[in-house]
């Protein structure tokens, strides 16, 4: 059996719908609430409202996620890693060298130079046992790394260098700080 939904104007005219309701309650909010009661008795109508409410809640949640996720962790335009930013000026910064570690070269002897290898100013001599090697160096200098590899009976030297710079920013991160640029040396074997 099909359910009859009275129109608002029918509810305002009909005394039988409201019973003995005083005339000042027939118009205004009571009439609207009575009309909603008639509409909400049908579960199909309620399901439609619930379905549209879920869409609204999901849309709001997605928009809220985008607004919250736009909080700045690392400024994109500055290229500064604010996680590794120092508030006090550091005396040393890290130099990262990458090596090839394999069965023929389980360890790699290395020499770190201040300036070019040709200058001969040795800063550090060590052996790398892992592919990533970190060394603390003074900032604002150029460093070179010479790695010594075995290839059968031959010896191969791989040399690379980079300048480690220390810069200061007051606006790119949440607080004024010093950050490092450069300091990456790739002395891996090439195929």
**SS3 for 128?**
strand
Distance separating alpha carbons of residues 37 and 28, to the nearest angstrom: 15
CB atoms within 10 A of CB 78: 13
141 strand-pairing partners: 164
Distances (CA, A) of 29 to 14, 25, 36: 16, 7, 11
The pLDDT confidence band at residue 47, using thresholds 50, 70 and 90, is low
Q: In which residue are the tokens 């040795």 written? A: 122
98 pLDDT above the threshold of 90: yes
Report domain extents, the chain: 8-69, 82-186
Most confident residue range from 16-20, 56-60, 67-71, 102-106: 102-106
Distances (CA, A) of 156 to 36, 128, 129, 149, 150: 86, 15, 17, 5, 6
The pLDDT confidence band at residue 140, using thresholds 50, 70 and 90, is very high
Distance separating alpha carbons of residues 7 and 20, to the nearest angstrom: 20
The pLDDT confidence band at residue 105, using thresholds 50, 70 and 90, is very high
The answer to whether domain 82-186 has CATH 2.60.40 is: yes
Most confident residue range from 2-11, 55-64, 88-97: 88-97
Task: Report the DSSP pairing between strands 184-186 and 141-151.
Answer: unpaired
pLDDT tens column, 166-191: 999 888 888 889 988 899 999 999 87
35 pLDDT above the threshold of 80: no
104 pLDDT above the threshold of 80: yes
The pLDDT confidence band at residue 22, using thresholds 50, 70 and 90, is very low
pTM recorded for the entire structure: 0.56
């Amino acid at each position: 059996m099909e359910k009859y939904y009275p129109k608002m104007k029918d509810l305002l005219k009909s005394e039988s719908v409201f019973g003995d309701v005083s005339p000042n309650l027939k118009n205004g909010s009571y009439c609207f609430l009575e009309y909603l009661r008639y509409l909400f008795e049908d579960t199909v109508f309620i399901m439609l409202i619930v379905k549209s409410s879920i869409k609204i809640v999901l849309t709001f949640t997605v928009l809220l996620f985008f607004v919250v996720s736009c909080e700045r962790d690392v400024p994109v335009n500055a290229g500064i890693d604010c996680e590794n930013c120092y508030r006090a000026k550091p005396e040393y910064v890290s130099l990262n060298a990458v090596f090839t570690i394999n069965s023929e070269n389980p360890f790699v002897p290395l020499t770190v130079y201040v300036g070019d290898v040709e200058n001969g100013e040795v800063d550090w001599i060590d052996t790398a046992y892992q592919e990533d090697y970190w060394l603390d160096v003074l900032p604002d200098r150029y460093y070179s790394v010479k790695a010594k590899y075995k290839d059968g009976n031959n010896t191969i030297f791989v040399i690379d260098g980079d300048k480690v710079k220390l810069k200061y920013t007051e606006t790119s991160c949440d607080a004024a700080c010093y950050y490092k640029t450069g300091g990456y040396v790739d002395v891996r074997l090439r195929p």
